[in-house]
Chains A and B, each alone.
Chain A
């Protein structure tokens, strides 16, 4: 039997060095875009999570560098536009981005809030819901939401579906790109590249349970330092996420470069992908079927011979009333 890589428990631990087969199998997929009735997986992988402790983050961008290197992407060398963010936004070549926010708190002290932005790996992923291409977006039983470029059609629906503004469409490859939570690393027992590279362990990785426990430890520490509203960002509106934040101001996520207060799949997207889809299709089907049936069983609106005759008369009579009119035929 093939020896499979263990499920990673942390990003800091060194991975096994012997070649091991992937531990993230097609049968571990629990949701597939545009696909109903995904067979129930035979096993349930441990739910994993990446925890980003904003209070430990120094904004060094090692995560960005590691992400570029591991995923072999090539973001453009841009300009400085008066801020520390570079690249200036997430791009199809930059799956994660440090965002810097200067915040003057009510005490008048400055805080420089630095947040690593990227895919949150929602338990209820809006991208997957919006995606029209079967198999372009999958969710594994460990919680990772992954884009499968081979099945992606580049339509950009996932961009609208995402409550966090994360996916970006590659303008030449015409596929949607985002953080994969390094599913390829996780598959062979390693944590994500960003967590591995993080010098202060502001980014950690492990089972969701362990990361929540770690977060609670951190929150306690932050509370002891006067951050009364310190808390975990694991928004329930999307069923919880597999990328979570420890925030000093969990009551105001928006301070962190516009992190949504209560993210959920937009009701617009819900109704587009819900009622509209089913009711619309039903209406079209009924209308088409009704028309066909009615067409088959009704005799149709026939013109009678009498009417043909009357038409002739009408034309002739009109001509008679106007004798000067030249007969053409």
Chain B
């Protein structure tokens, strides 16, 4: 989230698209209710199903799964055509005036530089044209044909309401009504918030879906303002924390990059991370990258990390490919290239696509270690449960170790919510049986491996042996100790850079913010964005003062929000170029003539003068981007791409299948169907009654939603002879499931490309363990392909077929 949950109450218009906040985020949805009740805000829902969010919406429109980019580009086109643009914002805070290289182009749904062999683009041309001063050339008139503005106008030209209706199945009148409602928020005193979740990410072009809306929000001047923003609703209570501390193969904490093989030493690694400003006076905050990286390595190896050894850079793993994402790992596992797999708080047998392939992959392992508070399906992948898990147990040789862990209510620590709030919690119960905290288990493994290295030696012992481990109890670091390490502290006394006699921080003291981190080895901090969470003043995450003097939902004294306790990112953009709030009734910060003041922490240097420093300080341009340069693998503008399994050809390029740069493993391409065999579009989703695959273990949740079902329209039910509550078989090219049929008016066939498209809705919550009835999930059916940038599986749009089944089968 750029904003916070509590900030949603400040909005005038909520657009829920690519998510179902009422269903999947009912507690956060209270802020939508607040905005509606107390501000008279309107709610728009765009979704293939008339869902729980739609039930309380002011306006709803259906959309074919996987066609969101067309819809969003259509809205942008409409806004431009009808001059629904927040011009002061767009001209001053975005890159619309910048010129793009001459060799950049777009044709047949593709950008310049496509290499079909590699399934990737040569992105050289996706770049600004720089002037002789090294700065990007800006055409303030926005008339230059290679200005981002003109390129954008050209890019969205094709997305007419008719095009949108044809591709998305959204009736034109509904689409236009939504355009009008959205267009109203181009006023400086009206804002719109975008709430989205897996409905946008779980596509082979998920990142571009989100960029589409982000661009629309920029056009309307809704980024950085109260009640605006791009608000990703995170699906687990701490999934934000997971990405923050870099639990991805290509990241290290604080969104720093894991070194690559092509970066053999620290100097080379840093050479591409200079982030020289692209416009005069810009902060380009990533220029501080080195401080964060060195502090991170100092946190890992303490005194062993020195300037001489590049702060231990050699001891970091080096990626030989872009990333070892989960799907790649499971593919390798299936190919017999993985021996041991640690599965910690994760149930991939139910959460990753093509369950048959997952079972095959686990069967190839020598050892599977499952750390979980619950008896997961993954840990029991080898058990035969009839149709629910039809495996040949005797042929599976994998050894499975289950290590029971504590659950969130049984341990202490912080969880990070969607609004980046690190909220501390305390143990509310004693763990049952032999359950131990994940930290204890990991520590025990570490201590034993360390002992093995000490006694027996081995390859590359340094990363383990040199690890700083100065916890009071080396057998079990406390949550507070780990949090203090993430925050960082001074290793030697820090003096002011301009006045060497002035002590900034004494040795051993906690830093109060990432501004104190240094690249000379004098500070350590394991996750720079968390700096400030546990300072000399104590545990900021444990603060529970719910006062909000400004009434803006800022709650500065409640927990800690990264970065720097800032509640709304880019909040400099909530003021006009002179520093006056766009809407005087909704003030986050303002320029008082000397500095930035207000209820929120300014997202800019407090003394940075208006009209000098741009509001998007993390970008070298200081502005936000309609044209995203080389940052996305699938293009600097979002372009309509069909799902890999789609009921229609891409009108921009009928030859193009799915996302042309999404990675597809050879076996999996063969496992993808066409609409000739599988005419129905399936989409997966969550239900309020359950939380992922956890709550089926809980009696009360099982009562509220006991049994697996699929949702279909009355029209499809009639066509197939399916009765409400009857059993159906749903199958894709990869597997089959049996489910009860919920026949509803809330799903209607849509007309796309002149043909009716039927949608089959498949919720995710059932398996063969727990209190609820045994069932299946959509992952049995889904295709093994993910987003081109971040490899999130394409669970929201794939093809299936359906037929009535006899009751006895399941």
Contact = CB atoms under 8 A, between A and B. Distances in A.
Are chains A and B touching in the complex at the 8 Å CB cutoff?
yes
A68 B703 contact: yes
Contacts of B58: 225
Interface stretch (A44-52, A69-77, A286-294, A305-313): A69-77
25 contacts: A56-B37, A57-B56, A58-B22, A58-B23, A58-B53, A60-B22, A60-B26, A60-B52, A60-B689, A61-B704, A77-B699, A79-B707, A79-B740, A80-B707, A81-B724, A83-B724, A83-B742, A86-B689, A110-B50, A110-B60, A110-B745, A111-B55, A112-B50, A112-B54, A113-B55
A225 B60 CA distance: 14
B773 A77 contact: yes
Contacts of A60: 22-23, 26, 52, 688-689
Given A60-B26, A68-B703, A200-B30, A83 B725 contact: yes
Given A80-B708, A200-B26, 4 more contacts: A58-B688, A82-B709, A82-B724, A83-B725
Contacts of B773: 77, 79
Interface string A102-120: 1010000111111000000
Contacts of B53: 58
Contact of B706 (A55, A69, A86, A112): A86
B706 A82 contact: no
Interface string A286-325: 0000000000000000000000000000000000000000
**Closest 6 A-B residue pairs measured CB to CB?**
A82-B725, A82-B724, A58-B22, A112-B55, A80-B707, A60-B688
B702 interface: yes
B710 to A, nearest CB: 10
Given A58-B52, A61-B688, A82 B33 contact: no
Contacts of B745: 102, 104, 110
Contacts of B741: 82
A211 interface: no
A199 interface: yes
A77 B771 contact: yes
Contacts of B708: 80
B704 A65 contact: yes
B728 to A, nearest CB: 11
A142 interface: no
Interface residues on B, range: 35 or more
Most A CB atoms within 10 A — which of B688, B700, B726?
A: B700
A87 interface: yes
A150 B442 CA distance: 54
B744 interface: yes
A62 interface: yes
A84 interface: yes
Interface in A200-258: 200-202, 217-218, 221, 224-225
Contact of A77 (B50, B689, B706, B742): B706
A56 B58 CA distance: 12
B705 interface: yes
A205 to B, nearest CB: 16
Interface in B695-725: 699-709, 723-725
A183 interface: no
B705 A86 contact: yes
Contacts of A113: 55
Given A56-B33, A59-B688, A75-B703, A221 B50 contact: no
A64 B699 CA distance: 12
A48 to B, nearest CB: 22
A247 to B, nearest CB: 14
B726 A65 contact: no
B494 to A, nearest CB: 43
Contacts of A58: 22-23, 26, 29, 52-53, 55-56, 688
B743 interface: yes
A221 B40 contact: yes
A82 B688 CA distance: 17
Contact of B52 (A59, A87, A221): A59
B771 A199 contact: no
A81 B725 contact: yes
Interface in B42-82: 42, 50, 52-56, 58, 60
B460 interface: no
A61 B698 CA distance: 14
A76 B37 contact: no
A81 B708 CA distance: 11
Q: Which applies to chain A's interface (DSSP): helix, strand, loop or mixed?
A: loop
B700 A65 contact: yes
B211 interface: no
Given A80-B706, A200-B30, A55 B742 contact: no
B772 interface: yes
A64 B705 CA distance: 11
B703 to A, nearest CB: 5
A76 B771 CA distance: 11
A229 B266 CA distance: 69
A78 interface: yes
A77 to B, nearest CB: 5
Contacts of A114: 52, 55
B55 A80 contact: no
A123 B26 CA distance: 33
A61 B740 CA distance: 20
B33 A110 contact: no
Contacts of A79: 706-707, 740, 773
Contacts of B33: 56, 200-202
A69 B703 CA distance: 12
B704 A221 contact: no
Nearest to A94: B703
B509 to A, nearest CB: 36
Contacts of A225: 42, 58
B56 A82 contact: no
Contacts of B50: 110, 112
Contacts of A59: 52, 55, 688
A114 B26 CA distance: 15
A56 B56 contact: yes
A110 B704 contact: no
Contacts of A201: 30, 33
Given A102-B744, A221-B40, A82 B29 contact: no
A86 B704 contact: yes
Contacts of A83: 724-725, 742
B36 interface: yes
A113 B50 CA distance: 12
B586 interface: no
B37 A199 contact: no
Contacts of A62: 26
Contacts of B36: 56, 221
B688 A221 contact: no
Contacts of A110: 50, 60, 745-746
B670 interface: no
A217 B53 CA distance: 22
A251 to B, nearest CB: 20
A81 B705 CA distance: 11
B59 to A, nearest CB: 9
B27 interface: yes
B22 A69 contact: no
Given A55-B56, A58-B23, A86 B740 contact: no
A81 B740 contact: yes
Interface string A98-139: 000010100001111110000000000000000000000000
Contacts of A104: 745
B31 to A, nearest CB: 9
Interface string A263-275: 0000000000000
B703 A218 contact: no
Contacts of B30: 199-201
B724 A199 contact: no
Contacts of B26: 58, 60, 62, 199-200
B55 A84 contact: no
A114 B54 CA distance: 12
A139 B607 CA distance: 66
Contacts of B56: 55-58, 200
